[in-house]
Structure 1
Amino acid sequence: MQAAKQQYRAQILQKKKKKMPLPHAVLITYPTAGQLNPMLQLAQLLHSQGFYITFVNTEFGYRQLLRGNASLDALFGRFNRSSFRFVSIPDGICESDLQGPGYLLNVWFSIVRNCPAALHELLLELNSSPDVPRLTCIITNFLVTFPRDVADRLGVPELVFWTTSACGLMASLHVRELVRRGYVPLKDESCLTNGYLDTAIDWIPGMKDIRLRDISSFIRTTDRDDFYLKEEMEEADYALKSQGLILNTFEGMEGEVLDALRGFFPRIYALGAIGSLIDQISGSAATTTPMRLGSWDEEEEEDRRCAEWLEAQQRGSVVYVSFGSITTLTRDELAEFAWGLAESGRPFLWVVRPGLVEGGIEALPGGLVEETKGRSLLVKWCHQGKVLSHPAIGVFLTHGGWNSMMESVARGVPMICWPGFADQYTNCRYACKHWGFGMEIEEEVRRGQVTEVVREALEGEKGEEMRKKAMEWKEKARRAAAEDGTSFTDLARLANDLTQLTTNTGIKQTKHTPS
C-alpha cells in the first residue's frame, strides 16, 4: 500500500509538472448539516490528493454554507481556489418550508421536484467546459438519488458516500427483507410497547446480538406505504447499483460488517474517522469548521464562551450535551433532561440550538439557571470538535448520530445515548453492547434516570470501564488514520482508482483485503 501511495503521488506531481488536467470529482450533497459537513470533509480529502473539486450544493445549502463561514473568501481560505469551486442549483426551498415538524419532508419534496433537471444541465455543462478538467467521477450523498442517469449518459462512474455507520448501512440493506419476512410493517401500535421490538434478528450478515428495535427507526410503522420506510429501501437499492461505496468508519471498528458488505459492493473505501484523517494529512487538528446555524459574530462569541468556561472546570467533570442538527424535543422531554442534569450535581455544557424545542432556549424550565449557577453553560452553538477535545469533558450526552459518534470516538470521550431517529438506534446498540463506551437512556426520558446515568458515567464502575474503552477506540482510530493505517491507505486507493477511470473502462474490478 505504501508503494501504491508513493506511486500515486508521483503521478500527480508529474501531471502538475506537465500541466496535465487534474482528475475532476463532482460531489453532490444533501443540504442539511449532518450531510453537508462530512461531504465537505470528503471533498477536502480528495483535494489534498490532487483532485479538482466541484462541490454542488442546493441554493438552500449554499446559503447555510455562506452564513456559517462569514463569506465565501473565508471558506476558500482552506482550499486552492483554482482547483476547488462551489456551485449551487435551484431547489425551490423557501422559509415557510422550514417551519414546523414536517420541514424535513418539505425540503425533500422540494429538492426532488426542482433539482434533477438543473443538476443534469450543470453536469453536462461541466463535462464540456474548456475551463475545467473533464469529469472523472461523480460522488453523491446517499440521500441524493437522481444523478445516475446523467452519469450513465456521460459515461462517468458514480460513487455513493453513505454517511451512517457500516452497521447502519447493512441494516438498511435488509429492511426490504424484513418486510418480505413479515417483521415489518408492525401489526398495530401495541408492537411499540409490548416487547415485539425485542425480537432477535440473527440473520443479517456481519451483525450480532441485534434486535428489531436496533434497526432504523423507519421500521416502526404500521403502514407498508410509509414514506420513510419506502425511502429507506430505495436509497439502499440506489447505493447497491453504484460503482463504489465510501464510508466514514474504519476497519478496526467495523471490520466484520465491512467484510460482509464487500459481498454486496464491488469496492468499499473506509475513510474514518474522517476528521482524524484530515488532521493527519493537514498536520493540524480541527481543520474543518462545522456547519453553523446562526450569524458568524454570534457564534464566534459562543465559541469563546465555551472555551473560557471549560478552562474553569475540573478535568473529566463536564457533561457535554448536544442532540445534533435535526433532533427535536418536546417541552416535557426538555424539562426531564434539564432537571436530571441539574439534580446530578455535575457541571454541564448544553447546546440548545434553534429548532431543538419550540421556543428555543427560552423554553428551559424556570429556575434551572439559578439552580445550576456556576456549573452550567447553555449555548446555541459550539465547535463540537473543539469541545470534545477539551480535557474537562467527561461524557457526551447525545442522540447518537454517526457524525457525533465518530467525533467522540476520535477524541476518546464516552457517550450517553438517547436515540430517536433513523440509524441512531443501531449506533446506540453497538456503542453500548459491542464497543463498550456507551450507556443508553430510555426512550421515555425521566429525570431520575438522567441523574443516575450521568453520575454513573462520570464516577461509577461502569463509567470507569467506558472511559477505558473510549481511550482504546481513540487509539485504534488514530492508528487507522496514521500513514499506512487502513483509512489512510483506503484514501490512497480511492484516489488511485479514480485517476485510472476513463469513460470506457470504468473502475478496475479489484477486491480490497484488509491489512
Structure 2
Amino acid sequence: MAPLRDALHVLVIPYPAQGHVKPLMELSHRLVEHGFKVTFLNTEFNHKRVIAAMGSGVDIEGDKIHMAAIPDGLGPEEDRNQHGKLIPSMWSVMPGYLEAFIGRIMTDSYESNIKCVICDWTMAWALEVAAKMGIPRAAFWPASGAVLASLHHIPRLIEDKIIDANGIPSNNQMIQLSPTMPLMNPDQLVWLCMGDTATTSEMFNFFLWISRTVELVDHFICNSFYDLEPYVFEQFPNVKPIGPVMARSSGANFWAEDSTCISWLDQQSANSVIYVAFGSHTMLDGRKVKELALGLELSKRPFLWVVRPDLTSGKAIEYPDGFLERVASRGRMVRWAPQYNVLAHPSIACFLTHCGWNSTTEALSAGVPLLCWPYFGDQFINETYICDLWKVGLRLNPAESGLISRDEIKEKLDLLLGDEEINSNTKKMKEMATRSVSNGGDSLKNLVDFIEKIKA
C-alpha cells in the first residue's frame, strides 16, 4: 500500500449533540466533494448511536469519511443532557485522548497528514491541542450569528457592568451589542437558558473561556447567511457565513429515520400538513403532551408528529384516551423523521418547532412558517428573531400556570396559516437562503474560499 502523505485530510470534531453533529457531517460531505478525506471524531457514546442509527443502507462516501471516536469521560449510564456535568468531563479527558489520536495519525506512514482541524467552537479545547501540535485550525459555529455575537461580547459586557462576573444581568434593560444589531433581552442570554439554574455559573464560565480562544482560530465559519444577519457579519468580517448548511444526508442521526412518512405526505393535499418536531433534546411532561395532542386534534388538520422515544424523560408516551383512534385518518407519529425532506415536501403547511437553529434555517430554506415553542439555550433568541424581526412565525403563549393550552395551539395554528404577511415573508426568506448557496451566492463563495485556504 502506498503512503497517503500527500492526500488532503481534515479532522472534524463536533460537540456531542444532534444539532451540532449534523451540520458538521454535512460540511464533511462538501469537503469530500472537493477532494478531501475526512476523519469525523465523535465521542464514543455518540459514535455508537450514530453507527446504530445508520444501519447497513447508509453510504457516507465510502472510505472518504472515516468515523472515529474518543471517550468523553462519563460512564455509559450517565445523563449527557446535563451539560454542567458533560462539559467539565470533556474538558478534563478529551484533550489528552485527542492529542494521542492525532499522534497516531502523524506517525502512521500509511496515513495522510492532517491539513486542518475543524471543530465546533464549543469544543475549543481541540483548538488548543491542534495549536500545540502545529496544525491549522478552523472553528465552526452551528448556531445563529446573533448568539455568536453575544459570546464574542462577553468580556465587554462584564467591563461595562451590563452583566456581573457570573454572567447575571445587572438590570432588565435591553442589551445593545452594536448600533446595527437588534436589541437583546438579557433574560435570553444563552447561559441563562440552559434549563438548570444550578449550572448557570458553570455554563457562563464555559462560554467566557470559549470567547477567549478566538486568537487560536485561523478560519472561522458560521452556519448562517449574510442576508439573514448582515448586522453580525458587518461587525465580525472574519466570521464567514457558509449556510444554511442543510442536513441532507442521514449519516449523523442519533435515531433511525422513518422514511415511510414521506409516502404518507405524498397522499396529503398541498399546504395542508402541520409538522411537529422538537429536536433531540426537548423534554415534555405528560400534561404538555396531552394539551399538544388535543390541540392538534382541535385543528382538524392532518399532522406529522415526531415523537422521540425519550420525549417524556424515558417514560412511555401517554396520549389522551381515544386520541389515536380519533386522529387515525389524518395523524401520523414517527420516532424520527428525515426533516430536510419533510420540510421541502409540498404538503407541509407549517412547522411547530422548538426553534433549534437547524430547524429554523431548514424551515426558512423551505419557505415554511413557524409556530414557536422554545425549550432551552439559544432557542429563545431564535424565537424572538423568527416572530419579531423576520416575521416568519408566531409564538405560543403559556397560561398563568405555565401550560400551553390546546386552545392556544389551535388558535395560533389558525392565525399562522391565515397570515398573509408571514406567508409573504417566508417566500422571501426561501429566495434569500437559496440564493446564498447557489452559484454566485455569498455562502457558496465563502465555502469555496475556505476550502481553497485549507488546501494550501
When normalised by structure 1's length, the TM-score is: 0.80
Task: Tell me the equivalent position of 1:226.
Answer: 201
Matches of 2:264 and 2:315, distance apart in 1: 22
RMSD: 2.8
Q: Residues 159 and 33 (structure 1 numbering): CA distance in 2 closer, same or farther, change over 3 Å?
A: same
Aligned with 1:68 (options 53, 60, 65): 53
Q: Residues 22 and 259 (structure 1 numbering): CA distance in 2 closer, same or farther, change over 3 Å?
A: farther
Tell me, yes or no, if the aligned pair for 1:318 and 1:348 is still in contact at 8 Å: yes
Task: Tell me the equivalent position of 1:505.
Answer: none
Post-superposition CA distance 1:420-442 (Å, at most 9, x none): 21111121111112222111112
Matches of 1:62 and 1:121, distance apart in 2: 18
How far apart are 1:405 and its partner, in Å? 0.9
SS in 2 for 1:253: coil
Aligned with 1:473 (options 426, 429, 436): 429
Tell me, yes or no, if the aligned pair for 1:200 and 1:210 is still in contact at 8 Å: yes
- In the alignment, residue 203 of structure 2 is paired with which amino acid? Y
Tell me, yes or no, if the aligned pair for 1:331 and 1:358 is still in contact at 8 Å: no
Tell me, yes or no, if the aligned pair for 1:128 and 1:134 is still in contact at 8 Å: no
Q: Residues 180 and 365 (structure 1 numbering): CA distance in 2 closer, same or farther, change over 3 Å?
A: farther
Matches of 1:428 and 1:132, distance apart in 2: 45
- In the alignment, residue 135 of structure 2 is paired with which amino acid? V
Aligned with 2:376 (options 417, 421, 437): 421
Answer yes or no: is 1:160 the counterpart of 2:168. Answer: no
How far apart are 1:388 and its partner, in Å? 0.7
Tell me, yes or no, if the aligned pair for 1:23 and 1:135 is still in contact at 8 Å: yes
Q: Residues 185 and 485 (structure 1 numbering): CA distance in 2 closer, same or farther, change over 3 Å?
A: same
Q: Residues 287 and 332 (structure 1 numbering): CA distance in 2 closer, same or farther, change over 3 Å?
A: closer
Matches of 2:323 and 2:211, distance apart in 1: 44
Task: Tell me the equivalent position of 2:96.
Answer: 117
Task: Tell me the equivalent position of 2:117.
Answer: 138
Task: Tell me the equivalent position of 2:21.
Answer: 36
How far apart are 1:324 and its partner, in Å? 0.4
Answer yes or no: is 1:487 the counterpart of 2:446. Answer: no
Post-superposition CA distance 1:368-418 (Å, at most 9, x none): 223333221122111111111111110001010111111111111111111
Tell me, yes or no, if the aligned pair for 1:60 and 1:93 is still in contact at 8 Å: no
Tell me, yes or no, if the aligned pair for 1:185 and 1:223 is still in contact at 8 Å: no
SS in 1 for 2:123: coil
- Kindly report which structure 2 residues correspond to 1:66-465, keeping only aligned pairs within 5 A, or say none: 66-71=51-56, 74-75=57-58, 77-81=59-63, 83-98=64-79, 103-184=82-163, 199-204=173-178, 206-216=180-190, 218=192, 226-239=201-214, 241-262=216-237, 267-275=238-246, 287-289=248-250, 291-294=252-255, 296=256, 299=257, 302-304=258-260, 306-358=261-313, 360=315, 362-442=317-397, 444=402, 445-458=404-417, 460=418, 462=419, 464-465=420-421
Q: Residues 225 and 404 (structure 1 numbering): CA distance in 2 closer, same or farther, change over 3 Å?
A: closer
SS in 1 for 2:433: helix
Q: Residues 27 and 293 (structure 1 numbering): CA distance in 2 closer, same or farther, change over 3 Å?
A: closer
Runs of 4+ in 1 over 6 A off after TM superposition: 219-225
Post-superposition CA distance 1:295-325 (Å, at most 9, x none): x5xx4xx321x12322232211111010100
Number of aligned pairs? 447
Tell me, yes or no, if the aligned pair for 1:441 and 1:450 is still in contact at 8 Å: yes
Matches of 2:136 and 2:335, distance apart in 1: 41
Q: Residues 397 and 121 (structure 1 numbering): CA distance in 2 closer, same or farther, change over 3 Å?
A: same
Q: Residues 185 and 329 (structure 1 numbering): CA distance in 2 closer, same or farther, change over 3 Å?
A: farther
- Structure 2: 5+ residue runs without aligned partners? none
Q: Residues 65 and 441 (structure 1 numbering): CA distance in 2 closer, same or farther, change over 3 Å?
A: same
Matches of 1:340 and 1:236, distance apart in 2: 42
How far apart are 1:179 and its partner, in Å? 4.5
SS in 1 for 2:453: helix
How far apart are 1:473 and its partner, in Å? 1.1
Q: Residues 159 and 386 (structure 1 numbering): CA distance in 2 closer, same or farther, change over 3 Å?
A: same
Q: Residues 38 and 452 (structure 1 numbering): CA distance in 2 closer, same or farther, change over 3 Å?
A: same
How far apart are 1:242 and its partner, in Å? 1.6
- Structure 1: 5+ residue runs without aligned partners? 1-18, 276-285, 501-515
